[in-house]
Structure 1
């Protein structure tokens, strides 16, 4: 893994470790709030890695790093959700959907639709929307969920 990607991965895992919250909803709200700073602070590194992806450079390294980050976050959700109220977040696919929502907010920041302060101000609203979505997921899809 290249140095830039390695640093991004470590900083991401550190951000997860430092994120406050004793419940999934609390963690999600704080994660959204902190994600805005993480992405703003790491914009140059993220842009460099995304540029490589657009040029199909080092795709396996990026895939491996992203997967490590997903699984790290999944483990945090499992730790917080002992009653499995948010069972989909115990699987790669559920965490992938969660990250897609967060990345969508980040794209809206980078596109100028929202400022970091706007997104932070709306963190609780976004968290409520996301949490309610995961509570409503029906478990009949478990046969397509990852086993790792």
Structure 2
């Protein structure tokens, strides 16, 4: 596996495993804070991995498998925290995918200069509520 991609995956899985939240709500908020700080600290590594992927130096299947492992770990964590079934999207198995898509979209906007880390941090309570609302939307 590509060194940069492997480091990102390992860090991501460690962050999810180390998120000791005892509720979906607390997990989402901590996940957002972790995402903002991690992306700010590791911008160079992220750019390296994405550049290698776009230049086909990282195999599509390798990249996809790595990303899927990250999504699966978040989904497992969310399902474990939603024992009461309050969040239909989590119970349907799509909670992590949609939450990560939401967060990654904001991270791309950070990279492009639309948001600063300070703005994302101050918006975290609102963003947490938006994600939780999305997770409650039954299909």
Q: Normalised by the size of structure 1, how large is the TM-score?
A: 0.85
Q: Provide the aligned length of Structure 1 versus Structure 2.
A: 138
In structure 1, list runs of 5 or more residues that go unmatched.
139-148
Partners of 1:128 and 1:71 lie apart in 2 by: 22
Aligned to 1:141: none
Aligned to 1:5: 5
Task: Please say if residues 70 and 92 of structure 1, whose CA atoms lie closer than 8 Å, have aligned partners that are also in contact.
Answer: no
Question: Secondary structure of 1:112's match?
Answer: coil
Deviation >4 Å, runs of 4+: none
Q: Quick one: structure 1 residues 65 and 92, their matched pair in 2 at CA, closer, same or farther if it must change by over 3 Å?
A: farther
Cα RMSD of the aligned pairs, angstroms, is: 1.5
Question: Secondary structure of 2:94's match?
Answer: helix
Partners of 2:93 and 2:84 lie apart in 1 by: 18
- How far 1:126 sits from its partner (Å)? 0.3
Task: Please say if residues 75 and 94 of structure 2, whose CA atoms lie closer than 8 Å, have aligned partners that are also in contact.
Answer: no
In structure 2, list runs of 5 or more residues that go unmatched.
none
Task: Please say if residues 88 and 134 of structure 1, whose CA atoms lie closer than 8 Å, have aligned partners that are also in contact.
Answer: yes
Partners of 1:20 and 1:121 lie apart in 2 by: 22
